[in-house]
């Protein structure tokens, strides 16, 4: 029976309502909101998001090289899925955990189902590569030349390259009691070689392992002049290895050479309460990440069963963790081709982000902010004002202090350079760095050391909580007063992601907002109780409670016949209590639209429960990253932007800030842009009550509309 039919006769009540109060209403049966059928599993939802990313690689409306990039992104996403989500499930199973989430799936159930779907997804990735993208790329004279198709001149050049650039870096390891199976780095490219014959010492182990250097590209561009190749002819590094690996085993015969790659648990564990120096503890843990527990083994599809079983035995893995692939095991490294091929016609059209009109180049930046709150929407608008904000503060003799949170910044950051300059100039510079930003830990350790050397005050937040808030505060002397200028954002201070992630940022000199930001920084750097904030909502203290109260306010008004309206745009919607509050709001008649890019536990369209809730996901040129909440509030519309997703970790285990958009002009602008995302019929996927995403398409009498394209065009015209 379909979920929506199952709930037609049920009346919704609070799960915490006493049983004595749960009397039937009319002839309807009463249920609570803990029914597992009302929840979608988060891991399976994450895999479905990756399926939507992979769909971009198949979409012929997308430029060809961008489609290749989407394929590689889907591969990178799968790596992280195994390194984090699957690794966590395996650990739970090993510890004997049977605790189920709201969907009532145990860790073992999830592991089995996720494994089956992951196998299907990986198979589809390689089908798209081999049957779709490679042939279409070849038609555009972008070719990956197979060994059997090498011309004489190509083979000659490849052999020379192998001998000069690759072979000197290789260390073949024959496997016998004196040469145990080597430690294999996480996600590294390796080859297991099957041999016959005896070596110089009379040994005949039959197997050897060769590890490919991580420093070398996985796709090698052939030089046209030396090989009579086209300008964009490539050879896989693995093809070179297969062709000439026999040179590493003189006097022996290579029976087979098979690539493999192992994915490991990449979560860092640091007991913050047991260490004296968090930075040094994180540095120590980084050394172990490369050799965490094995969670997946990828092998070439032509690898014999006995060799695959041998590898599984070495890694103490079952066949559930084995993935056979028809192509390079490190598929994500093919993305290098995107940068090597200079074909603008096969990429998204270049664009120049516009500069907000409120930033008058002829006026001082601080003067512009003092006149009005200024909102930016990346990447349609430029990240330069954010850089200039910190850079100008570093140079301004009236600026006394700069405080900033940094979660991800990238290896080369103009903002960090400005902070260093400010510290060296004697300004009070305080930086809260999150050392445990996943997969950026090493970069953040280096960043912390650099800022400390420059004389900045560097702290790592609060023990037990990740600092995920995006805040910058500049304290400036203006006459006899000290003014607080702030920037609050939904995304990181990262110049590269500012070009590919959608994010909102707010500049303001509002006195009360500045006081709030100052108090949050004091929380992060000192000791003391939480002060009451004027405007900001903050995790882990007030954000979750405030969102529940605002949902309940819309619910109460809908119950008395007034209009109730909620729009939420986030990356993930997982928190059970927020979902239950949305269910109750829907049952009361509140119209709810959820724009959720990735994981979504909520099941929309269930009669009597969530029939007034619509869920859509936008997957397009840019990664949707804005977190926005809209509440109708009886006509007194409220809009909030936030660094937090609607997940338990963001609400209770992270320091996050959510800031109101109080300018009527800016508020209406965000509402209009939210409407664009709700109108999108080209890059949107709608979630059904069955938990299935369907891609939207324009109706027969309807024009195609893309929110991202509309915003690009709108801001280009203004620029």
Q: Within a 10 A sphere around the Cβ of 600, how many other Cβ atoms?
A: 28
Burial of 619 (0-12, 13-18, 19+ CB in 10 A): buried
Q: Is the pLDDT of residue 116 over 60?
A: yes
For residue 490, give the DSSP letter: S
Which pLDDT does position 136 carry in this prediction? 97
Average pLDDT, the chain: 89
Reported as a single tens digit per residue, the pLDDT across 379-435 is 999 999 999 999 999 999 999 999 999 988 877 889 999 999 999 999 999 999 887
538-718 and 365-533 share a CATH fold: yes
Range list of β-strands (E), 490-581: 501-508, 537-539, 565-570
pTM tops 0.85: yes
DSSP structural state of residue 645: -
Residues carrying an active site annotation: 468
The CATH classification number of 43-346 equals 3.30.1840.10
Q: Where are the beta strands (DSSP E) in 169-231?
A: 173-174, 190-196, 207-211, 219-221
Q: 28 falls in which pLDDT band (50, 70, 90)?
A: very low
For the residues 182-189, what does the mean pLDDT come to?
A: 92
Q: What is the spatial order of strands in the sheet that 173-174 belongs to?
A: 173-174, 207-211, 190-196, 253-264, 294-300, 322-325
Give one DSSP letter per residue of 420-476, joined into a string.
HHHHHTT-EEEEEE-TT-TT-HHHHHHHHHHHHHHT-EEE--BTTBEE---EEEEEE
Q: Using CA atoms, how far apart are residues 142 and 139, in angstroms rounded to an integer? A: 7
Whether domain 365-533 has CATH 3.30.70.250: the reply is no
pLDDT of residue 715: 84
Shortest CA distance to 679 belongs to which of 665, 700, 701, 696? 696
How far is Cα 685 from Cα 138, in angstroms, rounded to an integer?
Answer: 31
Domain ranges of the chain: 43-346, 365-533, 538-718
**For the CA atoms of 433, 434, 437, 442, what is the dihedral angle to 10 degrees?**
60
pLDDT-based confidence at residue 24 (cuts at 50, 70, 90):
very low
pLDDT in tens, 282-294: 555 555 556 678 9
Cis peptide before 540, with omega less than 30 degrees from 0? yes
Decide if pLDDT at 542 tops 80: yes
| pLDDT above 80 (res 275) | no
Strands 638-642 and 628-631: antiparallel
CATH class for the region spanning 538-718: alpha beta
Q: How far, in Å, CA of 62 to CA of 56, rounded?
A: 7
- What count of residues does the chain have? 719
Q: Does residue 100 register a pLDDT over 70?
A: yes
Give 196-213 pLDDT, tens digit per residue.
887 665 666 689 999 999
Query: How does residue 56 score in pLDDT terms, banded at 50, 70 and 90?
Result: very high
Give dist(CA 245, CA 172) in Å, integer.
9
Nearest CA among 290, 268, 294, 293 for reference residue 279: 268
* Residue at token pair 């994981």: 599
Mean pLDDT on 107-121: 96
Q: How far is CA 454 from CA 283, 369, 393, 512, in A?
A: 20, 29, 16, 31
pLDDT digit string, tens, across residues 603-627: 999 999 999 999 999 999 999 999 9
Structure token digits, residue 294: 């094995």
The DSSP output letter for 131 is: I
What's the rounded Cα separation, in Å, for the pair 238 and 192?
A: 12
């Amino acid at each position: 029976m379909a979920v929506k039919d199952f709930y037609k006769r049920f009346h919704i009540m609070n799960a915490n309502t006493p049983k004595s109060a749960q009397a039937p209403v009319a002839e309807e049966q009463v249920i609570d909101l803990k029914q597992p059928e009302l929840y979608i599993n988060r891991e399976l939802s994450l895999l479905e998001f990756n399926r939507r990313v992979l769909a971009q690689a198949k979409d012929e409306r997308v430029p060809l090289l961008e489609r290749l990039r989407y394929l590689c992104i889907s591969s990178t996403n799968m790596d992280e899925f195994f390194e984090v989500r699957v690794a966590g499930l395996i650990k739970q199973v090993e510890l004997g955990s049977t605790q189920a989430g709201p969907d009532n799936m145990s860790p073992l159930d999830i592991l089995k189902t996720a494994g089956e779907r992951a196998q299907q997804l990986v198979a589809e990735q390689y089908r798209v590569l081999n049957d779709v993208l490679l042939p279409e790329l070849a038609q555009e004279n972008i070719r990956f030349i197979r060994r059997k198709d090498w011309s004489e001149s190509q083979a000659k050049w490849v052999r020379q390259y192998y001998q000069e650039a690759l072979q000197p870096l290789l260390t073949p390891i024959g496997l016998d009691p004196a040469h145990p199976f080597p430690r294999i780095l996480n996600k590294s490219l390796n080859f297991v070689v099957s041999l016959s014959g005896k070596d110089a010492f009379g040994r005949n182990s039959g197997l050897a392992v060769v590890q490919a250097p991580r420093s070398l590209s996985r796709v090698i561009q052939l030089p046209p002049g030396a090989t009579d190749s086209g300008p964009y002819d490539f050879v896989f590094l693995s093809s070179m290895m297969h062709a000439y690996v026999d040179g590493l085993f003189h006097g022996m015969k290579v029976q087979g050479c098979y690539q493999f790659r192992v994915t490991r648990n990449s979560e860092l564990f640091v007991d913050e309460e047991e260490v004296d120096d968090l930075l040094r503890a994180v540095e120590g843990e980084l050394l172990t990440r490369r050799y965490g527990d094995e969670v997946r083994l990828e092998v070439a599809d032509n690898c014999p069963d006995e060799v695959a079983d041998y590898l599984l035995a070495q890694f103490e893995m079952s066949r559930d963790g084995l993935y056979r692939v028809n192509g390079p095991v490190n598929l994500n490294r093919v993305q290098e081709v995107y940068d090597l091929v200079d074909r603008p016609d096969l990429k998204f059209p270049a664009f120049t982000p516009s500069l907000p009109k409120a930033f008058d180049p002829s006026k001082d930046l601080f003067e512009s902010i003092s006149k009005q709150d200024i909102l930016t929407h990346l990447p349609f608008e430029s990240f330069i004002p954010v850089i200039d904000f910190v850079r100008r503060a570093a140079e301004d003799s009236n600026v006394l202090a700069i405080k900033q949170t940094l979660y991800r910044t990238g290896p080369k950051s103009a903002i960090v350079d400005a902070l260093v300059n400010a510290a060296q100039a004697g300004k009070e510079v305080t930086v809260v760095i999150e050392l445990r930003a996943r997969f950026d830990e090493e970069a953040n350790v280096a960043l912390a050391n650099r800022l400390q050397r420059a004389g900045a005050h560097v702290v790592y937040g609060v023990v037990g909580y990740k600092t995920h808030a995006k805040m910058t505060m500049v304290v400036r002397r203006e006459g006899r007063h000290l003014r607080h200028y702030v920037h609050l954002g939904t995304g990181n201070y990262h110049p590269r992601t500012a070009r590919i992630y959608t994010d909102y940022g707010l500049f303001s000199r509002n006195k009360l907002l500045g006081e709030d930001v100052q108090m949050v920084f004091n929380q992060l750097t000192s000791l003391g109780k939480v002060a009451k904030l004027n405007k900001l909502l903050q995790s882990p203290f007030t954000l979750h409670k405030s969102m529940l109260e605002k949902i309940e306010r819309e619910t109460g008004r809908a119950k008395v016949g007034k209009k109730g309206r909620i729009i939420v745009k986030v990356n993930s919607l997982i928190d059970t209590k927020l979902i239950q509050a949305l269910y109750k709001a829907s049952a009361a008649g509140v119209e709810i639209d959820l724009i959720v890019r990735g994981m979504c536990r909520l099941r929309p369209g269930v009669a009597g429960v969530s029939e007034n809730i619509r869920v859509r996901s936008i997957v397009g040129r840019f990664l949707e990253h804005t977190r926005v909440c809209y509440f109708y509030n009886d006509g007194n519309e409220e809009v909030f932007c936030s660094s937090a997703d609607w997940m338990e970790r963001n609400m209770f285990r992270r320091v996050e800030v959510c800031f109101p958009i109080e300018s009527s002009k800016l508020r209406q602008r965000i509402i209009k842009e939210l409407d664009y995302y709700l109108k999108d019929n080209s890059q949107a996927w709608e979630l059904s009550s069955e938990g299935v995403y369907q891609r939207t398409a324009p109706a027969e009498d309807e024009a195609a509309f893309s929110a991202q394209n509309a915003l690009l065009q709108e801001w280009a015209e203004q620029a």
